[in-house]
Structure 1
Amino acid sequence: MSKPRTWARDLALGTRFAFAGGREGWTRTLLTGIGVGLGVALLLITSALPSAMSARDERGAARTTFSSPTAERPGRDTLLTAQVDQSYRSYGVDGRLLQPEGPDAPLPPGLTAFPGPGEMAVSPALDELMKTAEGKLLRERLDGKIVSTIGDEGLVGPGDLYFYIGSDQLGKIADGTYVERITAFENHIEAPPLDPVLTLLVVLTFVALLMPVAVFIAAAVRFGGDRRDRRLAALRLVGADGRMVRRIAAGEALAGSVIGLLVGTGFFLVARQLAGAVSISQRSVFPHDLNPEFWLASLIALAVPAAAVAVTLLALRGVVIEPLGVVRTATPRRRRIWWRLLLPLAGLGLLAPMMGRGNEGGQFNQWQVSGGVVLLLVGITVLLPWLLERVVGRLGGSGGVSWQLAVRRLQLTSGTAARLVGGIAVAVAGAIALQMLFAGTEGEYTKDTGQDPARATVSIMPRHGTDAKLDELAATVARSKGITKAVALRSTTGSPDPDRADQDVNLHIGSCAALAELARLPSCEDGDAFVLTGAPDPSAPQGAPAAPGTTLYVGDPRGTEAGADGSAPVAWTVPADARPAPARKDPIGLLRTGVLLTPAAAPKSLGTHQFAQVYVLVDPAVPDGLELARNASFKAEPLATAMTLTQTRTSARFGSIRTGLFVGATLVLVLIGASLLVSQLEQLRERKKLLSSLVAFGTKRSTLSLSVLWQTALPIGLGLALANTVGLALGAVLMRMSNVRVRVDWASVAAMTGIGAGVALVVTLLSLPPLLRLMRPDGLRTE
């Protein structure tokens, strides 16, 4: 018989034993299928994420107007629109004002009709939020009549908080900047590529999160190895040779892996249906977007069974299966370390040439990075059995009965114990390395804004309006509950020579309280004027100095906007009694230059050629004071931007990658816990008769339970120690690759280690009830 036919026959026979081997065979196949299925489900989810993220980006781009075609005049196909994104507590609530100017005006994606003036179309998630007690204040802000719901094609995800409000006032202020006149919703602007360090973070996140999955799948296909080997010995007794029984064992593993593919597909389909109800940091995906790429799904379908066969054959290399029993040749011969060190050393060799590059050294070779990290993490799985064997081999017979039982069991089956905790060790090592890299590079993507939230909580910037409207806005906000102060400030430009832009002088107009935010005033009352002194801030709008008595043309010195509102530059003289005042940074961190003017000393009729803002300080003792201020701002001026002041600001892309790591780590932890529990139950099931025998001879159940705890705690402790060592080394290498100073965030290291130990402890506690049931006397029954 040819070799392929021989392989096919023996694999088929092994598959038959897996399904027709009685309750024992079914139980082992089912446990293998569940263990493999959990890993397959996570692999399918991971392979589906790129398509889901791409679909989110496409729908988000489809509703933007950054590169939409525009028109200068109203027409049948024109639409006026303005972006009015909001912040509400920890939520980002985005939206637009709409005013169609003709019957063929373009509809935004997800709408079937335009909302009328004062009407709203909202996303389902926003509608649900505003109907809850948590969204009460948001409903007061967005108080239009809800007439429709935005369809899926107009939302980036089911948790998207988005709205459209109909208006009839945009035509009065259409300027092409804040209020656009478009003829279609189109976007041709592609997002810039990730810089090298962010690309490195993405690659490492995927590698570090998927490695534990591969380790658990490899461990799952070896469930019930002891009983399987005893069955194979019986096959030797009836005439099978050594190669044949190995192929039969591979057939059993193949059957379990195929069941795992089916179970994993089922888990994935269930998880996909539930995905729409999950929103993490306002990021969610539609179930129909979670579609794995065909080639990735095919690769998983082929790689998992192939890996199951390869792992089984590799595991049986150290086992001699004879007709009268099984001899594990690996037990008397101590494990060697030299080849186990080659893997992490090879990984370091791949990563070393890329050290010191950072963002200035060009893109990292993704395959080289992935290979180096994989080799380092795989090094944990091959070093842990050697380390565990050496440690338990030196433990003597001292200690309590439970400790001795645990040590003896580990001395006999240290490889099995190492496989059970290998996934946790790999996950912890990867998490530690990523935490170090995130902490080291955070400074590059987290900038100090220079803002001072202690002086102003919010800076409200109206996009249009006259002096009266600005004062009305400030007064409306000041009347809101919880507002300590609200001061309005206007800035404009004047020049002694309208033909020379380099002589422009900045003028800042406001009450004494407002001007005090820009300078240290000796004294102040309405009618005073001050000339700012001190070194100018390079980041602030620069302006020429102005001496008292200088005549300036104020408003729009070069007449660029004279036709927009009918205003023209105003001739105005700097008051002769203007006093010097040293400049101070304003609440948003700018050090201004120019002239400070109280309203009585300021030029009149400046039109709209001015920049206005209102500094608002919220009393932190008043609940929802910040939301009340935002509500008042939106009611008074919907086009105003209410910017919350913060001392630091993190890059959105960096934050998204960190959120992705959090989501992935959560899924991996769930997999680790579930797989470890299945592994633990399989180990207890194999030792059912042994445990029952010990109880029958008088061993206390508490002693046996404690021994199981020791059998888990000792490998976990050694695994976590090894994971810390490898994780710190890998983290240091990655930080050097990113060209940042190597430093260890010991709090994060302790947290990752504690999480890994906590998962093992929870799994052990969950396995105690089955353990107590297995220790009953009827466990000695034999069919």
Structure 2
Amino acid sequence: MGVRFAFTGGREGWGRVLLTAVGVGLGVALLLLTTAIPSALSARGERGSARTNIMYVDKQMPKADNTLIVASVDTTFRTDDIHGRELEPEGVRAPLPPGIDGFPSVGEMYVSPALERLLKSGEGKVLRERLSDRIVGTIGDTGLLGPAELSFYRGGEGLEEHFDVGVVTRINRFGELHPSSEGMDPILILLTLVVFVVLLMPVGVFIATAVRFGGERRDRRLAALRLVGADGGMTRRIAAGEAFAGATIGLVFGSVFFLIGRQAAGYIAVLDMSVFPSDLNPAPALAVLVAVAVPLAAVLVTLFALRGVVIEPLGVVRTARPPRRRLWWRLLLPLGGVAALSPMIGQGDSAGQFNDVLVIIGVSLLLIGVTALLPWVVEAVVARLGSGGLSWQLAVRRLQLSSGSAARMVNGIAVAVAGAIALQIFFAGVSGAYTTASDQHLDRAQMEFSVPDNVSPASAAQELTGAKGVRKITMISFASLGEKAKSSESYVEVTIGDCATLREVGHLPSCHDGDVFTVRGAEYDTETPRLVKPGRELWISPTATRTTKPSVAWTVPAGLKQAGVREDPSGAKRGGILATPGAIPEETVAEAAGQIFIGLDPEVADAPDRVRNAAARIDPLTEPYTWTSSNRTKQFNSIRTGLFVGATCVLLLIGVSLLVSQLEQLRERRKLLSSLVAFGTRRRTLSLSVLWQTAIPIGLGLVLSSVVGLTLGVVLLKMTSRSIGIDWAAVLTMTGIGAGVSLLVTVLSLPPLLRLMRPEGLRTE
């Protein structure tokens, strides 16, 4: 009967079912997307392993009919990484990379669809200068990590001469030859578990809220069933049947929403992460679990909600003063969560893995505790609110009569904010272990280019100087100084540059061309005091492997000056000899290896990419390195990216859920609002009262979620044996985001509110 009432209750019944179905459907879609994430990541990983080719070996395999020379020519455009390979087949049976049907000739490229679009767009003008080869084909899905990946293969020649640079290798097949068996450390696994629980908990709360849409009107209709002979148990079962029907339709809606989102995933990249729609396949067992759990939860939540409602033949006893909510059992939930996590406090990452079951139970109980405590907090506070303006009085009286509905509406956002605060504290506490501060001086240079051995440093510096956006070039050349002409066991480094350059690597007393300085006390420099003595004959030779010139005898000058140690722009402290070009044999200066530090003009757009274009003209196999203030481990970054992607989806869901809840409550009070307007209440007053009705429970919910979030974050940090430091800016940011979403939802609900205030709302059937 309950299922029949859901579909035969006229416009009123269909509206209620539709609201429930949309709410449940959104939650189900997000659950299905979440269960599909592991398969998507696995598929990405398999495609990445299948195209792996660069191997770092001491000795290359011999040339054969089935070998291929591959060079890594990865590059960057703005902030996007571009996967690139040069291919030179050495026989007819050379292995073909996944995703292409033939080898590109020299001057030709196969590109991913995303890269092709970029190169053909106006934004890709600067990149076209670097990747100017002719496009002859498109890389298929099997050769890409995701639809938004920027990737290319181009034809190469003469790559055998560059085996010594470390990015060129000879292979006879593609694929991971030595898969890494190293797993994540315990803290990262703990972080992953917490992220999943924190992201899924608001979804569950929202589904539980959605199945109660239209509850007040439903209960009034059940009173009519009592009048024609139904007893209390029958009415509850009928209500459960209606909720079951709405949840079942919600499963259908959720499947449709999931398929729509699955297809949309092929066109969306979040934080450089994209997946093919075919990758998003929920695990069958998890999909069945969702299909069973959602309708079951709808029935249980409905029965639980009706436990305190007396449905009599002449009405619903809901407006009488309800008994005060009890606090003791509500406190048991967060206390139980802390108790579940407490055995692991102080474990750190040296005592094995954390107990996954206890972690999930503990975090879940703490977050569920927010939903249990919030109705009590709202009821306790609004009962004590005093008088105020008319809009305030209307809002407070409404909250006093139905504080439970107000608390339910903000449960989802309270849980989301509590989890987000805990994760922010957790991330801030453990990030130091996975983040390495850079020694580079970004105020002196922003990019670095290691001059290839087949290029002279002077010509490379000239090419880079001409790039638009380059403000300053610091070129350092290197040679070595030893006791013998060949195979010297002891040597010191010689840094060659003009006076301005040498001042970047040492504190000089005074400098003119022809001067030589010695630096003592630098890192890893133990031979300078013993070898560098005025009048001693040593042998100087370039360190570049391209040179075949023999070492040259060089006498340490009598006018040797002492220089102080100074970090160069990269953060290295150089020792040994600092020499101006006039003091070193010309052939040694010409053949020396080089390193170039590049200072950029921040006012010039795409300056780093113009430097990369110049570097590609110097040598396509050498990519300039862009400096950063810190570096994070790959696994930590992956988890952080996953959190942001998931949090974005959850935030959208929470916003939609709040809007649907708000519209449902306004729809329930349509006649009341129209009556107030008919009696002369100003629309502005009613609008403000709706704003207060949203703001008060949300404010209380954010305070409660901050307390629970801080507690959970501190407990998690204690489990990892990390020092506790609360990032108050992050806490305030998360709270502000929650408040901002709520305010936006309230503003979006104002147009429907104004329509509901029309006199037509008094009409009844």
Structures share a fold, TM > 0.5? Answer: yes
- In the TM superposition, what is the alpha-carbon distance from 1:499 to its structure 2 partner? 9.8
- Structure 2 residue aligned with 1:517, among 504, 510, 519? 504
Distance in structure 2 (CA, Å) of the matches to 1:49 and 1:305? 23
Percent identity between matched residues is 56
Q: Residue 259 of structure 2 aligns with which residue?
A: 269
TM-score by length of 2: 0.94
Matched, 1:80 2:69: yes
Q: Which amino acid aligns with 1:184?
A: R
Matched, 1:766 2:752: no
Q: Residue 6 of structure 1 aligns with which residue?
A: none
Q: Is the 8 A contact 2:64 2:90 kept in 1?
A: yes
Q: Is the 8 A contact 1:546 1:595 kept in 2?
A: no
Where does structure 1 lack aligned partners over 5 or more consecutive residues? 1-12
Q: Pairwise CA RMSD of aligned residues?
A: 2.7
- Structure 1 residue aligned with 2:380, among 365, 379, 390? 390
Note the 1:339-738 alignment, pairs <5 A.
339-396=329-386, 398-465=387-454, 469-496=456-483, 503-533=490-520, 535-537=521-523, 545-548=530-533, 549-552=535-538, 567=548, 570=551, 572-577=553-558, 578-602=560-584, 612-738=594-720
Distance in structure 2 (CA, Å) of the matches to 1:683 and 1:614? 66
Q: Which amino acid aligns with 1:134?
A: E
Aligned to 1:276, the other structure's residue is in SS state helix
Q: Residue 15 of structure 1 aligns with which residue?
A: 3
- Provide closer, same or farther for how the CA distance between residues 544 and 728 of structure 1 changes in structure 2, counting only shifts above 3 A: same
Aligned to 1:134, the other structure's residue is in SS state helix
Distance in structure 2 (CA, Å) of the matches to 1:399 and 1:457? 59
Distance in structure 1 (CA, Å) of the matches to 2:555 and 2:438? 33
Distance in structure 2 (CA, Å) of the matches to 1:213 and 1:317? 24
- Provide closer, same or farther for how the CA distance between residues 757 and 566 of structure 1 changes in structure 2, counting only shifts above 3 A: closer
Distance in structure 2 (CA, Å) of the matches to 1:605 and 1:191? 49
Q: Which amino acid aligns with 2:672?
A: L
Q: Residue 83 of structure 2 aligns with which residue?
A: 94
Distance in structure 1 (CA, Å) of the matches to 2:443 and 2:429? 28
- Provide closer, same or farther for how the CA distance between residues 400 and 580 of structure 1 changes in structure 2, counting only shifts above 3 A: closer
Note the 1:36-435 alignment, pairs <5 A.
36-67=24-55, 71-175=60-164, 177-187=166-176, 188-190=178-180, 192-328=182-318, 331-396=321-386, 398-435=387-424
Matched, 1:748 2:734: no
Greater displacement, 673-682 / 548-557? 548-557
- Provide closer, same or farther for how the CA distance between residues 513 and 179 of structure 1 changes in structure 2, counting only shifts above 3 A: farther
- In the TM superposition, what is the alpha-carbon distance from 1:241 to its structure 2 partner? 2.2
Greater displacement, 685-694 / 328-337? 328-337
Q: Which amino acid aligns with 1:547?
A: V
- In the TM superposition, what is the alpha-carbon distance from 1:475 to its structure 2 partner? 1.4
Please give the per-residue CA displacement for 1:169-223, whole angstroms capped at 9, x wherever unaligned: 2123233833211111121322632222222222221111111111110011111
- Provide closer, same or farther for how the CA distance between residues 339 and 293 of structure 1 changes in structure 2, counting only shifts above 3 A: same
Q: Which amino acid aligns with 2:326?
A: R
Distance in structure 1 (CA, Å) of the matches to 2:360 and 2:228? 48
Greater displacement, 489-498 / 718-727? 489-498
Please give the per-residue CA displacement for 1:547-580, whole angstroms capped at 9, x wherever unaligned: 23445555599xxx9xx97948625334233433
- Equivalent pairs, count: 761
Q: Is the 8 A contact 2:195 2:423 kept in 1?
A: yes
Q: Which amino acid aligns with 2:653?
A: L
Distance in structure 1 (CA, Å) of the matches to 2:39 and 2:320? 46
- In the TM superposition, what is the alpha-carbon distance from 1:104 to its structure 2 partner? 1.5
Q: Is the 8 A contact 1:122 1:149 kept in 2?
A: yes
Q: Is the 8 A contact 1:541 1:592 kept in 2?
A: no
- In the TM superposition, what is the alpha-carbon distance from 1:773 to its structure 2 partner? 2.0
Q: Is the 8 A contact 1:536 1:592 kept in 2?
A: yes
Q: Is the 8 A contact 1:532 1:595 kept in 2?
A: yes
- In the TM superposition, what is the alpha-carbon distance from 1:57 to its structure 2 partner? 1.7
Distance in structure 1 (CA, Å) of the matches to 2:180 and 2:270? 25
- Provide closer, same or farther for how the CA distance between residues 252 and 76 of structure 1 changes in structure 2, counting only shifts above 3 A: same
Q: Residue 8 of structure 1 aligns with which residue?
A: none
Greater displacement, 582-591 / 515-524? 515-524
- Provide closer, same or farther for how the CA distance between residues 124 and 106 of structure 1 changes in structure 2, counting only shifts above 3 A: same
Distance in structure 2 (CA, Å) of the matches to 1:441 and 1:429? 19
- Structure 1 residue aligned with 2:21, among 15, 33, 41? 33
- In the TM superposition, what is the alpha-carbon distance from 1:604 to its structure 2 partner? 7.2
Q: Which amino acid aligns with 1:26?
A: W
Q: Is the 8 A contact 1:452 1:589 kept in 2?
A: yes
Distance in structure 1 (CA, Å) of the matches to 2:526 and 2:331? 60
Distance in structure 1 (CA, Å) of the matches to 2:600 and 2:10? 72
Q: Which amino acid aligns with 2:561?
A: R
- Provide closer, same or farther for how the CA distance between residues 545 and 86 of structure 1 changes in structure 2, counting only shifts above 3 A: farther
Q: Which amino acid aligns with 2:171?
A: I
Greater displacement, 691-700 / 99-108? 691-700
Distance in structure 1 (CA, Å) of the matches to 2:607 and 2:667? 60
Distance in structure 1 (CA, Å) of the matches to 2:207 and 2:526? 60
- Provide closer, same or farther for how the CA distance between residues 505 and 322 of structure 1 changes in structure 2, counting only shifts above 3 A: same
Q: Which amino acid aligns with 2:634?
A: A
- In the TM superposition, what is the alpha-carbon distance from 1:262 to its structure 2 partner? 0.6
Distance in structure 2 (CA, Å) of the matches to 1:474 and 1:116? 31
Distance in structure 2 (CA, Å) of the matches to 1:328 and 1:771? 25
Q: Is the 8 A contact 1:68 1:185 kept in 2?
A: no
Distance in structure 1 (CA, Å) of the matches to 2:320 and 2:430? 45
Aligned to 1:641, the other structure's residue is in SS state coil
Distance in structure 2 (CA, Å) of the matches to 1:377 and 1:543? 63
Greater displacement, 691-700 / 417-426? 691-700
Q: Is the 8 A contact 2:454 2:546 kept in 1?
A: no
Greater displacement, 40-49 / 164-173? 164-173
Q: Which amino acid aligns with 1:64?
A: T
Q: Is the 8 A contact 1:178 1:463 kept in 2?
A: no
Q: Is the 8 A contact 2:612 2:623 kept in 1?
A: no
Distance in structure 2 (CA, Å) of the matches to 1:513 and 1:104? 54
